[in-house]
Amino acid sequence: MMKSKHIPEEQLVDYLLGNIGERDATQIKAHLYHCKKCQNLLSDWQFLLRQDHKQFQPSQSMKDRIQHSIIQVEEKSFKRRTVIGKPGLLFATIACVFLIFYSVHSYYQDINTRNYEIAENDEIPPETIQSAPHTQQIKVTPVSEFNQINGYVWVNRNRNEMLLEVDGLEELINQDYQLWIIYMDNSIDHEILPTQNGMTRMLFRDIDVDEFKKLKASVEPRGGSIEQTGPDTFIVEFQ
């Protein structure tokens, strides 16, 4: 799969979107464990894939890398003529790059516009809404196939805040846990659950707690889905 010491950028995108097999995903994950350069590439793409479509712009470093890749292809094709020739190879490379951006843009063009703030795991301050006045604690209900999951949700309607803490999440390969926030009018917000050692913590601020109907999480392809495609893992009922 990897002919050089680094993972090709297009394979990292496939890895995030869940478009590769389990064996390749395992190899990529093992490589990422010790390769800082590929970790940085992966982080750039993760950030890009999670952006709202109105803000869909690659970082300058990503633009520079794309330009560098095109120059490399141009130099190689000058030294070694291929079946499609230098102009064709260069055009194919540029088309491939733009196809990646267009595909990601199209994939996320209907994504919800976030109107709240999120702190994840280590970003969450030690003192949160758990001990604040008017905070309600609700136990997470795991579904039968994921009965090792346990946790709580704390909501504070006065502060429009929610804290989610869940553990017992099994490690996933080529998939992510995704949270679905369902409101009284059946509109939905969704977020990838950031996991560390089988646990996730998310603090939501400026979120319309009064309109909550249900929370649930599911297993989705890497990078998440616009609509739920995988099985439920846990549920939190507000009614």
The C-alpha atoms of residue 71 and residue 9 are separated, in whole angstroms, by 15
Round to whole Å and give the CA distance between 149 and 206: 27
User: Is it the case that residue 12 has pLDDT exceeding 80?
Assistant: yes
Say which range, 3-7, 61-65, 139-143, has the weakest mean pLDDT: 61-65
The average pLDDT across 37-46 equals 78
Domain boundaries, the chain: 9-107, 117-237
CATH class of 117-237: mainly beta
Q: 3-class DSSP state for residue 84?
A: coil
Residue by residue, DSSP assigns 143-189 as -GGGTT-EEEEEEETTTTEEEEEEE-PPP-SSEEEEEEEEETTS-EE
Query: Using one digit for the tens of pLDDT, what is the confidence trace for 96-144?
Result: 555 555 445 544 544 445 688 999 988 888 788 988 999 999 999 999 8
Structure tokens at 37: 């350069």
Contact status, residue 161 vs residue 129, Cβ threshold 8 Å: yes
* pLDDT tens digits, 139-172: 999 998 899 999 999 999 999 999 999 999 998 8
